[in-house]
Amino acid sequence: MAKDSLREYSAKRTFTATPEPPAAIAEGRGGPLLFVVQQHRASRLHYDFRLECDGVLKSWAVPKGPSLDTNEKRLAVQTEDHPFGYASFEGVIPPGQYGAGEVIVWDCGVYSPDEGATWYHDRAGAEREVLDGLAKGKLSFTLRGEKLKGSFALVKTKEAKQWLLIKHRDRFVTADDVTQQDRSVLSGIAVSEMKTVPAGKRLPAVQLVPNGEVVPMPAVAKLAPMLAESADKAFNKPDWMWEPKLDGYRVLAFIGEDGVRLRSRRGIDYAANFPALAAELGKQQAVNGMVLDGEIVAFDSNARPSFGALQERAQLKTASEIAAADRDMPVVFFAFDMPWFAGIDLRAVPYRERRRYLAQCILPSPRVQLVHAVDDGIALNEAAISAGFEGVIGKRKESRYESGKRSQSWLKVKPTQTGDFVIGGYTKGKGSRGELGALIVGYWEGKKLHFASGVGSGFDDRTLAAVLARIKPLERKTMPFAEKPELMNGGVPIWVEPTNVAEVEFQSWTDDGHLRAPIFLRLRDDLDAKKVKKPEFRSTPIKGSDHVIEPTIKWSDPFIGDVVKQLEEKKKDLVLVVGKDRIKVTNLDRVYWPEDKALKQPALTKRDLLRYFARVSPFILPHLRDRPLTMIRMPDGIRGQRFFQKHWEQEKPAFVEKIRVFSGSKDEQHDYLLCNNLPTLLWLAQSGTLEFHVWHSRSNPGLDAKMQASDFDSSLEALESSVLNFPDYVVFDLDPYIYSGQESKGAEPELNTVAFEKGKEVAFWLKELLNTMSLNPIVKTSGKTGLHIFVPIKRTIDFDAARHVSELVGRHLMKQHPKDITLEWSIPKRTGKIFMDYNMNVRGKTLNVAYSPRGEPGAPVSMPLTWEELANAHPLDFRLTNAMDRLVETGDRWHDALTIKQSLERALKK
């Protein structure tokens, strides 16, 4: 019967003329059923939604595409069944053929009918449920794809062949238009590029999802995690992918009918230590057979991964303590591999496919997330280090999952060398060090414990007490080492049972086999002391990485060097190629900033602006990302017309993201642009945007956000309950109202040294006050006369509260310095003073973003500074012509919580 259903498909096509696959029934398939959504630009753009069943693909044409909004009922017109092999088809159907046009695989994954239960593990049962549902005119099912996740329904209407595709209410519901994600999940190509980008090798449809013989889940005790070798640096090669290296407990999560196990490398089950995580894995993954490889991570107050915080969590014993910790310090499981799913053993499958299966099959939740992975190991390594990660892990795309083995197919790269060592003794401390002076550590070779070093650095009061409490009860009379340790400073050793492991950072091995400059990092509860061997480190690149691609510019996006090179062409008009995106740029020699002889600065053109934005993009984009943008556009330069633009109603390229936000003052919605990538930054510069001003809140929910809601446009109440109403920092905007005497009547004060020096004096008073409150402010120049001071916070207070804090602090400082500071709104009453504008802490208010140019003579740039740098700074020290040179030399000095928090969340959720 299934074979007969493909007759219509064959009758409509001439297979000698079209690249589409011929009719064929899939046989011998095992594992979960497949779904695929193909974007098809024929006479008009539409989406073909297909469900595998009975050897073929049941198919519907969805004109507007799928939606994750429960309020959207999308028309789905049933079409002819397609062969299973069609699932991976991408290409161009020639003119004159049925369905002529371009096709990409927009999304794919596994699915299961879900009326009462899911059937991933039982293909025959799932197909019976699907056929029964289609016959009755209503089929409910769960999709596990990269873009589409959660429960949906197909409901037949009274019209022949017309159905409705409806999203059920679950945690994956969103008002965001998922079709804005317009690239293929297989090739990364957009449908508009199919005619110009050569088609790659077609992946067999059978490889799109987990497939094979259904076997029992491996026994918990018999499946061990794959381990990585060490390498000295990250590199870029086409056959490698990279992930951030997380600082947590490595576990295999077994999700089965008998519950959830979180098994460590030592065989410890952490499910009882993290019951909320175990419960969430069991409930939210909605499958009765799954093994995930990943890391349990806890975070400190700055939202950085903290192994110490995780250890404190793991030591809790009582149910009340654990419950309180789950509320106040939740842990997150970050999955990076999937050795087994719904009866299919994936260990022999290449990593590139396991990674795709994992992205499809995992159902993210607050405590369960997918680790980000990219091809650019160099850029990721630098981003990971700046965000507080340990480094990166490189994985060969063709590598199998080598359970229990340490393999060169996985490489770990850390900024410094670290190793795990057995604690065999300690020496007593002197003075304030109390009972513990240094640890005596070593490693096993066979049955002998060899001495490696004494370790006395890296302790604070807390770790001293914790380590001593752990090892003092283990004291023994005999030395556990094979040779007598060489102890510095004549320390008298106290021997202990070698059952604890310490992680130690060090520079290198000495010629006599000891550690150079060792520093204690932490205890390792997750490692078996009996299995600790001598750490080995590479001093040369890994075999096969001799063609390493070094970055053109430090911290660079891989396309930055190409953009800069293209701008060297003397043409006035160009089409900039940025990866797969194209930006038409015109009038490149138009002067934006005229020559300034006093500063010895030549005239600066649109070309100079584009070159600056390309080079500074790794620094400016983290501060722009996910923030509603207000543009100050000067298309004819700083001496021409300038205008603010908040809302964007015109057409925009596909790479430009936007959000819709409710306006309380006008009771309507408006679109705001988000500058989230290099092409958008360049496109805005082409349109004459010289200044970028952003909100103090972000549209992206994260680990530090009290509210996770992302409904910004349905009502004022929804906006106020969303993450956009919770800022990342309290702002102190210092505006000098000290005039140079050269201003025209009614004009704002122009840049002058007297005003800026008084602003710096007030800034240091403010810093001193905030420090007494245990707050650590960070500062940047405005690029004009003022200073912007930020106190980074978790997103737990709304704008009203942030404004109140800023006002209280400002008024307190004004009482201390009434002749120098004012909070007055009357401009005449501000004259001669520094105005502290606490109303900048209002939702929708903006300040120019860090590293943004200003439309002022001299082309000044808003520059983040250390407080030491501020003491001798002048705004015109930092200009379009020299800002990037300073950054290449020093890096981004703004390493406080503001930058760290954004970088961390971007790396985790990208």
pLDDT in tens, 153-178: 999 999 999 999 999 999 999 999 99
Domain co-membership, 42 together with 129 = yes
Share of the chain above pLDDT 70, in %: 91
| pLDDT tens profile 247-289 | 889 999 999 988 999 999 888 899 999 999 999 999 999 888 9
Pairing of strands 82-83, 91-93: unpaired
Domain co-membership, 42 together with 191 = yes
Element at 207 (helix H, strand E):
none
Compute the CA torsion angle 869, 874, 880, 882 (nearest 10 deg).
-50
Is pLDDT at 906 greater than 80 in this prediction?
no
Say what the pLDDT of residue 544 is: 35
Say what the pLDDT of residue 861 is: 94
Indicate whether 625 belongs to any domain.
Answer: no
Indicate whether 679 belongs to any domain.
Answer: no
Which residues, at least 6 apart from 472, have a Cβ–Cβ distance to it below 8 Å?
Answer: 435, 496
Amino acid at 830: R
Where among 383, 413, 443 does a domain terminate? 413
Domain count, the chain: 4
For residue 500, what are the domain limits?
417-531
Domain co-membership, 240 together with 178 = no
- Of 173, 74, 72, whose CA–CA distance to 710 is shortest? 173
Domain co-membership, 777 together with 825 = yes
Element at 566 (helix H, strand E):
helix 560-567
Domain co-membership, 382 together with 468 = no
Say what the pLDDT of residue 781 is: 92
Indicate whether 603 belongs to any domain.
Answer: no
Domain co-membership, 194 together with 224 = no
Is pLDDT at 597 greater than 60 in this prediction?
yes
Indicate whether 564 belongs to any domain.
Answer: no
| pLDDT tens profile 218-252 | 988 889 999 998 888 899 888 999 999 988 899 99
Say what the pLDDT of residue 598 is: 75
Where among 390, 413, 436 does a domain terminate? 413
Is pLDDT at 794 greater than 90 in this prediction?
no
Higher pLDDT, 618 or 639: 639
CATH number, domain of 297, equals 3.30.470.30
Indicate whether 780 belongs to any domain.
Answer: yes
| pLDDT tens profile 738-765 | 886 676 777 777 777 788 889 999 999 9
Cα→Cα distances 489→428, 454, 472, 495, 513, Å: 11, 11, 21, 17, 19
What is the C-alpha to C-alpha distance for residues 86 and 89, in angstroms, rounded to an integer?
5
CATH number, domain of 494, equals 2.40.50.140
Strands laid side by side in the 240-245 sheet = 227-231, 406-413, 391-396, 240-245
Domain co-membership, 245 together with 113 = no
Q: Which of 245, 414, 767, 901 is catalytic?
A: 245
Burial class (CB in 10 A: 0-12, 13-18, 19+), 775: middle
What is the C-alpha to C-alpha distance for residues 129 and 33, in angstroms, rounded to an integer?
12
Domain co-membership, 156 together with 250 = no
pLDDT band at residue 347 using 50, 70 and 90 as cut-offs: very high
Residue 245 is a catalytic residue: yes
CATH number, domain of 750, equals 3.90.920.10
pLDDT band at residue 688 using 50, 70 and 90 as cut-offs: very high
Domain co-membership, 230 together with 335 = yes
Domain co-membership, 659 together with 784 = yes
Is pLDDT at 505 greater than 50 in this prediction?
yes
Where among 531, 548, 582 does a domain terminate? 531
What is the C-alpha to C-alpha distance for residues 480 and 424, in angstroms, rounded to an integer?
6
Domain co-membership, 31 together with 59 = yes
Quick one: average pLDDT of 78-99?
A: 94
| pLDDT tens profile 356-390 | 999 999 999 989 999 999 988 888 888 887 676 77
Domain co-membership, 279 together with 195 = no
> How is residue 67 written in tokens?
């939606």
Indicate whether 838 belongs to any domain.
Answer: yes
Say what the pLDDT of residue 299 is: 81
